[in-house]
Amino acid sequence: KQEVTQIPAALSVPEGENLVLNCSFTDSAIYNLQWFRQDPGKGLTSLLLIQSSQREQTSGRLNASLDKSSGRSTLYIAASQPGDSATYLCAVKDAGNMLTFGGGTRLMVKP
Amino acid sequence: SAVISQKPSRDICQRGTSLTIQCQVDSQVTMMFWYRQQPGQSLTLIATANQGSEATYESGFVIDKFPISRPNLTFSTLTVSNMSPEDSSIYLCSVYTGNEKLFFGSGTQLSVL
């Protein structure tokens, strides 16, 4: 059974800092991995999707990387802003279309 | 992308009552997914709703407690029946788009007293 872990569970940084969020998974036979953002009490917003054959995806200040062999993905946020404050979740989809979510990293960017 | 309208956004309900949550998608989709997010937890899949057939429920979730309707390819409802405080959660519907991204509705924050 796939298990997805996100460390740290919470992170507080000053505005302007570059930061890295981590996502690890136990079964490397994945189909794709997706990063989401969730604001308090709200739904999830898709940020980046990485297919199993890809190494990274970029969107604006966000860059997500994938290393299947080591069971890891990172989400890099450049020049963080207070508006980036949210919970970030990764989700791994396996070949059987089962989607497993990590527990999320709660990010606070202080002005 | 997909735009999903989910209602209500939040509700406070009494123990023993039922609440029906609606999701409307701006395009036709084969499958719609219903998730639960308990306080401080990640997402757990409740069921997959297919148009024209019964929903497929995940382990730990049953139709009597979470009946689902899927009358057409753009709409679905989830009912939380005979509620107890343990049902207090955020409930989310979601769909996949053609590029395999998963899109979510805005969520329904349910509190049961």
| Residue pLDDT, tens place only, A29-51 | 999 999 999 998 888 999 999 99
**Percentage with pLDDT > 90 across chain A:** 90
Report CB contact under 8 Å: A49, B99.
yes
Q: Which pLDDT value is given to residue B100?
A: 83
Measured between alpha carbons, how far is A102 from A3 in angstroms, rounded to an integer?
Answer: 8
Q: How far apart are alpha carbons B40 and B43 in whole angstroms?
A: 10
d(CA A56, CA B51): 35
Residue reference for tokens 């994945």:
A30
Q: Give B38 to chain A, closest Cα distance, Å.
A: 11
**Phi then psi dihedrals of residue B85, to 5 deg:** -55, -25
A-to-B residue pairs, Cβ atoms closer than 8 angstroms? 43
Tens of pLDDT, residue by residue over B55-97, are 999 999 999 999 999 999 999 999 999 999 999 999 999 998 8
Stretch 80-109 of chain A: residues touching chain B, C-beta under 8 Å: 89, 91, 99, 101-104
pLDDT at A96: 80
- Cβ neighbour number for residue B42 with a 10 Å cutoff: 19
Nearest to B57 by CA among B65, B75, A92: B65
User: Are the CB atoms for A73 and A67 separated by under 8 Å?
Assistant: yes
User: Is the Cβ pair B92, A102 closer than 8 Å?
Assistant: no
Query: Is residue A4 predicted with pLDDT exceeding 90?
Result: yes
What pLDDT was estimated at residue A81?
Answer: 97
CB contacts, 8 Å: A101 with chain B = 42-43
pLDDT at B9 exceeding the cut of 90: yes
At A72 the pLDDT is: 97
Q: Is A66 helix (H, G, I), strand (E, B) or coil?
A: strand
* Residue located via tokens 């409930």: B91
